[in-house]
Structure formats: structure tokens, C-alpha cells
Structure 1
Amino acid sequence: MRLNPPVNKLRSAHLGPVLALLVAPLALGCVSEVGHEDEGALDEPVGEAQAAVGWWSYGWGCSGSCELNLGSDTDRTCFLSGVWGKLGASSQASVRVTRSGGQWTLYVDSASGQNLGANAVCVNTVENRTGQYTWTWGPGDGLPTSMGFGTSSRRCFLTQVTSNGAFKYNNWITDYARVLKDVSGEWFLEGASTTGVDTPVTATVKAICVDVPQNYGAWQWIAGNNHRIDPLANDSIGGVVCGMTGLGGPFTSNSWTDGVWLEYNSTTLDWEQHTVNNKTAWSQCVR
């Protein structure tokens, strides 16, 4: 569901098989990121990774700058699960999930009044949670960022995508960012961006890792000139949640329904990936 700006989507809170719907309050205003995390450093371990995670989902967007509080950082870890609208503008645009002052916040900063929004999910574990790792593309940049090895339960997800002329071209193979684990077990944050009419093209992408014990599958879906909806993991047993591990392609449409996002279908109990108009996204489901 998409609404005209500012966008306020329903949030779902899942604790095992229980479902509750919450309406997020309207939150508008200037956005500034206060405070910084240690780059890639481990948090002090709190609690344990659980066999079935509780989760919350959110959606927020606007034509300008806006923010949405996602709750305390002491009992949950939050990351992106979708981006829609004009991220690939000629000037800077950004969606980001950050920690500051003991809280998680979803920030949206659109370019020149364009429509931009994002989805986020939070899981109720902080076991071996890392700080945010950063990959940048621009003059002298672009090499993959190592995120280390971690435990066998480590899962990593995107938390921020900032574009200044990136994510504008139809070939997602040369305009993307993602996290991946190589055959040795080392995690990396990497990508590429196409230099075109806007030079220099720059991009900043961040990711976070946290221990969640069960892997319920990973996918990459690619759309042509269409809106495709593809199933991910089924949540009939409860506690399954999916997040975004990568995205690519042209985010150039000033539309709330043009992008990539993950949604929970309460009728089929499936997580689904929506992929629109020559874009791609990588997703990971856990429990």
C-alpha cells in the first residue's frame, strides 16, 4: 500500500505467531544524524540469539526530510527491507536506519522535493551485534569493505543507502550494492556504480550484522519492465522475518510504487519481494 506524501504505512509487530497492527504517528521535520558508531565494532553482547525471533516492520516516506522512531536499541536490531521512489536523483538522496541516543530511527532525505521512502524491519535480538560497516563509491573509492567473520549464526543486512547520481542506470550489474559471505566465511560489503552524465557519481552504503541462528533462505529477484511479486520464506511456524541484503538498478521514478520492498502477506503467511522496473534486490530470511 502506498499513500501520497507524507507516507505512513501500517507497522506489524510479531512475537512468535502473535500479530498486532500499530499505526505510526506522523513525524516530519528536518533530519540530522547525531552521534556516530564505532566502525564495525561489536556491541557489548546482550541476551541470546533465539530460536524464533520477534519482529516489527515499518514504512515511511516523504517529499523532503522526515524521520520515524523505531524503538529502543537495547532489545532490537533494525535494518532496511525496502527502498521506493527517487533515490537515484542528480543531487543527494538518502534512506538510513541509525542508532543514536539509545533509539533506532528511520530517516528519509529526498532530493529537491522528490518522493522517496523506505521500509525497515527490527528483530528482537542484539546478540553479537556489530556497528555499521561502510562502503563508498567515488573518486578513489569502490573497493569492497571487509565485515569480518563472526559466528556461524551471523547475518548481515543493509542499513543505509545514500546516492549522489548513483542508482540511475538500467544495468543493475554495474549499479548495485550488497553484502555477501565468501567461501572462507568472511563477510563483505561491496558494489559498483556507473559514471554517466553526472560526474563524479558517489554513493555510500552501510550494513550491520547480528546473530540470528536459523537461515530461512536467501534470494535475488530481478524485474523487467514490470512489477513482479515473488515468494520468499513462509512463516506458518511463526518467527520468520526477512531483510534486504542488496539492491541495484534505476531508482529514478518519482513514484511511491516504484522500487524494491519486502512485505509480509498475512493471507498466505509468505514473505514476498516486490521488484519493479528493471531493478533487483537481494533478500535474506531468518528465524
Structure 2
Amino acid sequence: MQIDDIEFHFFRNFLKESSGYHLTDDKRYLLESRLEDVLRSWKLNDHRAIISSIRNDQSSKMATDVIEAMTINETFFFRDQIPFDVFENQLLDRLAESAVANRVRIWSAACSTGQEPYSVAMIATEKRSVYPKLLCDVVGTDINSRVLSRARQGLFSDIEVHRGLPDHYRNKYFTRDGSNWKINDDIRTLVHFRQMNLKGDYDVEGPFDFVLLRNVLIYFDTALKESILRRIADRMRPGGYLLLGAAEGIYDLNHHFQRCPDIKGLYEYRG
């Protein structure tokens, strides 16, 4: 269902105020598509009914459904592969050698249904053969309660486990569960999920050694990007690393990170 200008401006303002999501004019088609699911689930015929409900109560279930419809992002195991190779072959060795009390803390921000933090947890588990005393704590956060519920279950479809996940990881760390695959408890218990809005309060306990913030900043305006980078830096250990999406750049922003040469999207926090 097409959305008119007045409706578009309402949703754009609402999403920015509630989640920081910066909805640009060229994403009108995406808004229309995502709101179709909201209309269908609430058995509504037009966008005005959604707007009326949100105006009455911005903390309503309807408002949450709109936010969550717009914050479901694509993810899969070992997405883009190269960052995970860098983590396995370079970063984890550095972090292990400088770890405080043999403990490395990792934060996957905007983790969606959990493939990213589980990928990191599997790599860390494999490294125990080299660092048997190393403990890796992984935190996954997302604004979307529905995707977090799926992440906590650790249950993935046949399509999801055959998209990016190497066969030896699937065979070692997953078990068939009907038509799905369930990640084994020794990996699932390494990852702790919690709901968090990057625009709101940061209810995560640092300091972190490695933060993944991949393909997230592109949804925010400049002021919020800088605020997010500042608050993440406040929760990082000096010498820790921040990983952005390969196509993301923060060269034009004020921040406390130094780009690592030859590795796209990787930055070091010097403190």
C-alpha cells in the first residue's frame, strides 16, 4: 500500500525520535513494504490507523511493531568472511596475549538473530587448543525483541545454516532439530543477549576488547553516529578493536579510533 507524504513524514520523525533510524526519501519503498506486515498482523486497512495508535501512545505494542518492522536487518553466519578470518588469525592472538585474567570480552552490537556473535563464539572455542585458559564472553545486543528471542533459542533453518557456515562448524557445533538446526549448548552459553537501543541507555558492562558494529551506522545521522562512537569508546579497553562494515567510513566524524591499515573497517581504540 502506497504511503502519502504526510504519513511518510510522520513515520520518519517517529523512527528517528524513538530509535535513531534516519529514514531517507529513497527508502519510502522499504517503509511501505515493512508496514504491510504491520497492517496485516493488526488487520488494518490503512496507515492512518497505525499513526493514530502511535500518537495515542508511543510506547504501545503498535509502536514497537513499527520499530521492529524497520529494524530487521539481514545477517548470516561468517558474513563477508574476511573480518572473521582477521579475528581468527590476527586479532584473537593479540587480544589473548594482552587479556586481563585470561578473559576477552566481545560485543556484537545490532546482532539481529545471532549469527554474528555465534560465529565469533565458534572461532573463540576453536582457539582453545592454542589458549586453553582463555575465556571469551560474547554479548549480543539489538533493539528488536523478536530477533533476540530467536537468537536466544539458537535455532536456525536449513537455509540459514547453509548460508556462510562452513560444513565442519555445522557438523561440530549444531544438532538436527526436526527441519531446523540447533546450536550446541557449549556455544550458546558463551553468548548473552540483551535488548538495547543504540540511541538510548547503554545497559552493557565494559570494558570490551572487541566490538562489532557492522552495517549499523549507515542508518543514523552524523550527530547520532558520533554519539554512538563516543559511548562505545567509553566501554572499550585501550588497545581494543572496533569493526565496522567494509563499506562504512568514519573519516569525516569526530571519534577516538585509529584506522588499522590494510584491513577495511577495522579501527583500534588507543584510549
TM-score normalised to structure 2 length: 0.25
Q: Relative CO higher for 1 or 2, CA cutoff 8 Å, sep ≥ 6? A: 1
Greater per-residue strand proportion:
1
Higher helix share: 2
Under a length normalisation based on structure 1, what TM-score does the superposition of the two structures give? 0.24
